[in-house]
Structure formats: structure tokens, C-alpha cells
Structure 1
Amino acid sequence: MSFPNESSAYRTARNALLDAEIALRRQTEAVAAMRRALPPGGEVPEDFVFERIGANFRPEQVRMSELFGDFPTILIYSYMFGPERDVPCPGCTHLLDCIEGAARHVPQRAPLYVVARSPVARLAAWAHARGWNHLELLSTAGNDYSAHYYGNTAALTPAMRAQRGYGEDENWDEPMLNVFHKDGDTIRHFWGSELVFAPEDAGQHHRGLDFADAVWGLLDTTPEGRGDTFFPKVTYGQAAS
């Protein structure tokens, strides 16, 4: 194919890029196949109790086993919005802005939840203010889910802490997507976005969920790219944060 007035040099370079894009798509599909073929993961250590806003708009408790409904698989994203934060992490927030649209569709095959350590009423108020009508937010306040599944740095091993220069008592929220599979009464961990915690790769950012992030994907199509200084904010303008 060709576009109006393009040069032969452009078309040659674009065709080479197209070959690379096709190879990348094949690699993406191959990685997805490897993920689907993973053997059973570890059984969850307990039936974690979360808190959510119930049908009567009052907080209610819900067990992890109840989150599946009639589905065998659930997705849980750990949101960096603990009670010590005045505003949530802008990186997590812009990602969830992207996922909000997908949250109309993903639960048709697998329920999707967002968890954070703040009280559930605070999470519900934030979701309402943000215009999130399809993301379901749960509170992990009072349970150990985050410590087991890398929703905070408490789960890091001493070696991982040393590699990153973290102090023994330095703990904060971390972004993490985890997938769980239920077979009968047994719930097992299936996959987690471990790329976030992988050893540093020269010239690479530690982001682990670019496949779900429309912001970076769209910017990657522009001549300017993602840039070296831009990072999404919770708000823009004078009140930007």
C-alpha cells in the first residue's frame, strides 16, 4: 500500500517496519500461548476477606472465593492508593482510566477487580469522582492479600530489596496485576505481572503492563514517541498532580 505523495525511501523504511510489526505480533501471540500453557500455580494461603460497597450502598465483606461468581478465573489489580496518600498514584490512575473502558467487556469472560488499602468508602468516592462506572474497587484493609501477592513491597525478598536499595522497613504500595483460577474449592495463582519486579534491563523502564495501557501504545505511534520526561498526571492544568 502507499499514501499520497510518499517517497520511495519512506515506503522502503515503512515496509521494513511493517515486517518488524508482524514479527512483534507473532511474538506477542507466542508469549500469550506460553502464558496460557503455564502449569497450575500455588494455592492461595487463605480465602482473603475484602470489603466492597454492597447493593444498599453500605460496606460489606466478601471472600475471595465469592469474587469468581460463575467464572473459573478472576483478575485483580493492586492500586497504589493507600490511606497515607492524599491522591492515588498517577501511573496507576491513568492505567485504570484506560482499563475502565475494557471493564465493560472483560467481565463477560473473567471478573475484574481493583484493590487498594484505603477504606472502601474512600475508594468508592474516588471512583465516582473519576467517572469509573465499570471498575469494581475493593478494600484490602485488614487482610494480607497485598503482602502475599506483591501489592506492596512487604512481599519483596531480602535479595530483591538489596538489589533495589530498599531499607528493611521501607514499604509502600506497588502496582501488580494478578490472575487467579478456581477449580472446585481450590483457588490457585495463575499469573502475575512480575516484569515490574524483574532485574533492571538497561535502557528499559520497569513498567509491566504496557499491553493494557493505551496511553503508551498511542504515543508510540507518533514521531515524538513517549518522550523522556512525560508521565501521566491525575489531573492537568493548575491543579495537576
Structure 2
Amino acid sequence: MTTHATGTREEWLAARIKLLEAEKALTRHGDELVRQRQALPWVRVDRDYRFETENGPATLIDLFDGRSQLLVYHFMFGPDYKAGCPSCSSIADSFNGVHVHLANHDVTLTAVSRASIDKLQGYKRRMGWTFPWASSADSSFNFDFNVSFTEMQQRDGEIEYNYVRGRHAMDMEPAPAPVKAFADTCGTDAKTYARDRPGITAFVLEDGAVYHTYSTYARGVDAVWGMYQWLDRAPLGRNETGVWWKRHDEYAPR
């Protein structure tokens, strides 16, 4: 027999209506956050960033692909990784369907990573993905937007991530178990793995100039992590005691 609270349909409905008010308040608060996000001042990007794509060399303007807005997902795939981060991979599983709709609403969605374009394309084929993915291997792009760090920054505790400078959870000694486990699945060590971090950055193109409008990191990426939005509505919620997810081709058949 269940240990969870049970009740009549009438009791459930009364509790659900009470919860609905809290959900509506959260929705209204979210709408206000969106307005505040869009009201942030824009910062002009004057650096000439260069990328490699499946179609050849590209500038930051080229990544817009003829649209006025660009959303970049900073995918953890460092130059020494053998495979992409499992967490970023589970997030990116939703991009195939989303990027088509965004492209028809004047927004380009692309992933950017420091691994070579050959590695990215090989992994993309393995995962069955179709969304754009650019390599910033020969660019300071990742470092300038605070999602990649040097060995010296890591050693000296001078990493600035999620708007905080210092040592972060991923930089702990010894490495936290999840970081070590993820590093192993990427074919690298924990320190190398932790020199790349996840994030989302938004840009706008206006009158030939590119402006940086928004960036979010760490738990700020949760909003686009599709499986968690569903789990938060499931009866048992996230129901996790540790890392349970894998790349989608690594689960046992069910």
C-alpha cells in the first residue's frame, strides 16, 4: 500500500486549485524575469571571432545564418575529449526539433565547442543530431564568454564562472565523484574535463553590428534541459540520489 497521502477526488481538486494559484504566480514571475532579461543593456562585440563549421570557416555573423538573433549553447566538448559531455548530450537531444521552429522565428540555435570540427561532426553523426554545431578551437570565444578556462586559471583558482570568481564545485580536490565519472565517459581526466563548462549565450545582429545580450550558466541551463521539465511533473519528481542519465545510445534496451 502506498505511503503517500491519498484522498477523495474532491480533496484532490481542492488541493490542485490551491496549487494552481502558486503555479500562476510562478508563471507571472517568470514573465517578469523575461522582461527584465530583455531589458538588459546590449554590449557590442567587436572581436573578430572565427569558427569552423560543416560548411567551412565562419565568422560570428555567419553563425546567425541570415537571421537577426543567435542563441549559442556552450556544449562541453573540449579539444582533448573523446566524446561530448553526457549532461550536455542529454540537453542537446531536444535541439533537433527546437532549432527548426526557432529558425522560422528569426532565431538561429547553434552549439559551440572547442573540439575540432571533425570530432564534433563524428559525434553528431553518432547521436543522430541535425542542429548546427561550430568549433571554436582556434578562437578565444569560449574563454571570453567564461565557459572555458586555462590550466593556470584552474590551478590558481581564478576561474570566473556563473558570475563568481574563485574555485567552484568542479574544481574541488579530489574531484567530486560525478565529475570524475563524466570525465571517464569523455575519455579524459577530471581536471581536463572541468576546463569546459555549460552555458547559453544570446546575441543580436542590428545594422551590421553584433551585440551580446544575455548569458546564463550552471543551473541557469536547467530551463532547456527537457527531461527535467517532464520529471518535475511526474509523480515521483526527479527522484535521484546521484547521476543516473547517460548518452541516449548507452541505455540498455527496454
TM class by shorter chain equals 0.7 to 0.9
Kindly report which structure 2 residues correspond to 1:126-141, keeping only aligned pairs within 5 A, or say none.
126-133=123-130, 135-141=131-137
Please give the alpha-carbon distance, in whole angstroms, between the structure 2 residues aligned to 1:30 and 1:145.
30
1:70 equivalent to 2:66? Answer yes
Unaligned runs of 5+ in 1: 55-59, 197-206
TM-score, normalising length from structure 1? Answer: 0.80
The one of 8, 13, 16 equivalent to 1:14 is 16
Q: Tell me the SS of whatever aligns to 1:81.
A: coil
Q: Tell me the SS of whatever aligns to 2:142.
A: helix
Higher relative contact order (CA 8 A, sep 6+): 2
Kindly report which structure 2 residues correspond to 1:174-189, keeping only aligned pairs within 5 A, or say none.
174-189=197-212
| One-letter identity of the residue aligned with 1:187 | V
Please give the alpha-carbon distance, in whole angstroms, between the structure 2 residues aligned to 1:153 and 1:74.
23
8 Å CA contact 1:76, 1:113 repeated in 2:
yes
| Aligned equivalent of 1:210 | 222
1:107 Cα deviation (Å)? 1.5
1:16 Cα deviation (Å)? 1.1
| Aligned equivalent of 1:236 | 250
| One-letter identity of the residue aligned with 1:145 | F
TM-score, normalising length from structure 2? Answer: 0.77
Q: Please report the RMSD computed on the Cα atoms of aligned residues, expressed in angstroms.
A: 2.5
| Aligned equivalent of 1:101 | 97
Please give the alpha-carbon distance, in whole angstroms, between the structure 2 residues aligned to 1:157 and 1:237.
35
Q: Tell me the SS of whatever aligns to 1:8.
A: helix
Q: State the identity %.
A: 25
Please give the alpha-carbon distance, in whole angstroms, between the structure 2 residues aligned to 1:236 and 1:162.
32
1:125 Cα deviation (Å)? 1.6
Distance 1:237 1:80, change over 3 A: same
The one of 108, 133, 157 equivalent to 1:111 is 108
The one of 147, 151, 156 equivalent to 1:151 is 147
Distance 1:164 1:51, change over 3 A: same
Kindly report which structure 2 residues correspond to 1:191-230, keeping only aligned pairs within 5 A, or say none.
191-194=214-217, 196=218, 207-229=219-241, 230=243
Q: Tell me the SS of whatever aligns to 1:191.
A: strand
| Aligned equivalent of 2:165 | 160
| One-letter identity of the residue aligned with 2:115 | S
Q: Tell me the SS of whatever aligns to 1:132.
A: coil
Distance 1:139 1:27, change over 3 A: same
Q: Residues 166-222 of structure 1, C-alpha deviation per residue, up to 9 Å, x if partnerless?
A: 48x97611111100112223212100014x2xxxxxxxxxx2122222200111111
Q: Residues 10-40 of structure 1, C-alpha deviation per residue, up to 9 Å, x if partnerless?
A: 1121111111111111111111111112222
1:51 Cα deviation (Å)? 0.2
Please give the alpha-carbon distance, in whole angstroms, between the structure 2 residues aligned to 1:97 and 1:213.
9
| One-letter identity of the residue aligned with 2:25 | A
| One-letter identity of the residue aligned with 2:75 | Y
Please give the alpha-carbon distance, in whole angstroms, between the structure 1 residues aligned to 2:204 and 2:45.
10
Q: Tell me the SS of whatever aligns to 2:100.
A: coil
Q: Tell me the SS of whatever aligns to 1:77.
A: strand
1:165 Cα deviation (Å)? 8.1
Distance 1:123 1:20, change over 3 A: same
| Aligned equivalent of 1:201 | none
Please give the alpha-carbon distance, in whole angstroms, between the structure 1 residues aligned to 2:53 and 2:197.
21
